[in-house]
């Protein structure tokens, strides 16, 4: 009798943590949507300083893409219980992530050399926006690096393998998202310069 009722099997179809991560990603997307739409609205109003993007940004983009490839390699290795390459892959990802951050720092240096400042009486919102977009993205990338370090530590304790994938999977989702976010920002900035 009771069995006739067509129950919806609502028992944890998605891992709740993964679902939460996606929701947090949505909120980060909204934040950058606000920044970039503010950028467009402000640009339309004129009094907008035009300058060239730092040339190092394209190198940084490639580095960040590489880091995502390393992380994917680590993830696939974890699935196949290839613990050694998990560690190598994760360490390479972190190295590439740090390299990206250093590259962004160099990019800021280039901007300063070109007299494009974040604040002060010579600053124009067009320059300030570039600092904000890259800076807030870099902040999130640092949180991603912290997450990666946690995963690396557990990998060295042999806790990342085919039956314990949740952690590296969440980390990979977040990291790939940050990469995709950067590509969006890079394209956005390139098209608007």
Partner 1 sequence: MSSTDISLHNDVHSGHDEHHDDHHDQSFIEKYIFSQDHKVIAKQFLFAGIFWAIIGGTLSSLFRMQLGFPEATFTFLEPLLGKWVEGGKLDPNFYLALVTMHGTIMVFFVLTAGLSGTFSNFLIPLQLGARDMASGFMNMLSFWFFFIASIIMFYSLFLETGPAAGGWTVYPPLSALPQAIPGSGAGMTLWLVSMAIFIVSQLLGGVNYITTVINLRTRGMSMAKMPLTIWAFFLTAVLGLLAFPVLFSAALLLIFDRSFGTSFFLSDIYVAGEALTHTGGSPILFQHLFWFLGHPEVYIVILPTFGIVSEVISTCARKPIFGYRAMIGSMLGIALLSFVVWAHHMFVSGMNPFLGSVFMFLTLIIAVPSAVKVFNWIATIWRGNINFTPAMLYSIAFVSLFISGGVTGIILGNSALDIQLHDTYFVVAHFHLVMGSAAFFGMFAGVYHWFPKMFGRMMDEKLGYVHFWITFICAYLIFMPMHYMGIAGFPRRYYTWTGFDTFSTFLDMNSFITIAAIVVFVGQFIFLFNFFYSIFRGRRATENPWKSNTLEWTTPVNPGHGNWPGPLPVVYRWPYDYSKPGAQEDFIPQNVPFSQTASSNLPHERDFE
How many other C-beta atoms can be found within 10 angstroms of the C-beta atom of residue 192? 16
DSSP label at 114?
Answer: T
The least CB distance from residue 164 to partner 1, in Å, is 8
8 Å CB contact between 112 and 163:
no
How many other C-beta atoms can be found within 10 angstroms of the C-beta atom of residue 65? 15
Q: Which is nearer to partner 1, 59 or 132 (CB)?
A: 132
How far is residue 25's CA from residue 178's CA, in Å, rounded to a whole number? 9
Q: Is the dihedral of CA 46, 123, 179, 59 positive or negative?
A: positive
The least CB distance from residue 189 to partner 1, in Å, is 17
Check residue 115 for interaction with partner 1 (CB under 8 A): no
How far is residue 106's CA from residue 89's CA, in Å, rounded to a whole number? 25
Ranges within 1-60 binding partner 1 (CB under 8 A): 1-2, 4-5, 7-8, 10-14, 16-17, 19-21, 23-24, 26-28, 30-31, 33-35, 38, 41-42, 45, 47-48
Binding partner 1 by CB under 8 A: which of 50, 113, 119, 157?
A: 119
- Binding mask of the shown chain, residues 129 to 168, with x at each position contacting partner 1 by CB under 8 A: x--x---x------xx-xx--xx------------x-xx-
How far is residue 119's CA from residue 26's CA, in Å, rounded to a whole number? 30
Q: Is the dihedral of CA 128, 130, 132, 135 positive or negative?
A: negative
Provide the binding-site residues for partner 1, judged by CB under 8 A.
1-2, 4-5, 7-8, 10-14, 16-17, 19-21, 23-24, 26-28, 30-31, 33-35, 38, 41-42, 45, 47-48, 118-121, 123-125, 128-129, 132, 136, 143-144, 146-147, 150-151, 164, 166-167, 170-171, 174
């Amino acid at each position: 009798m009771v069995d006739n009722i067509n129950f919806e099997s609502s028992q944890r179809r998605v891992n709740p943590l993964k679902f939460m991560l996606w929701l947090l990603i949505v909120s980060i997307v909204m934040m950058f949507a606000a920044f970039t739409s503010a950028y467009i609205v402000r640009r339309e109003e004129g009094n907008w300083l035009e300058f060239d993007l730092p040339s190092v940004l394209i190198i940084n983009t490639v580095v960040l893409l590489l880091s995502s490839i390393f992380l994917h390699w680590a993830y696939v290795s974890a699935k196949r219980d290839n613990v050694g390459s998990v560690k190598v892959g994760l360490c390479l990802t972190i190295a590439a992530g740090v390299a990206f951050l250093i590259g962004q720092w160099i990019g800021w240096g280039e901007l300063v050399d070109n007299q494009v400042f974040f604040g002060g009486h010579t600053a124009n919102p067009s320059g300030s926006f570039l600092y904000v977009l890259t800076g807030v993205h870099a902040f999130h990338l640092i949180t991603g690096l912290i997450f990666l370090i946690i995963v690396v530590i557990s990998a060295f304790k042999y806790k990342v393998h085919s039956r314990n994938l949740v952690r590296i999977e969440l980390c990979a989702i977040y990291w790939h998202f940050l990469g995709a976010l950067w590509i969006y920002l890079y394209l956005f900035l390139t098209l608007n310069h």
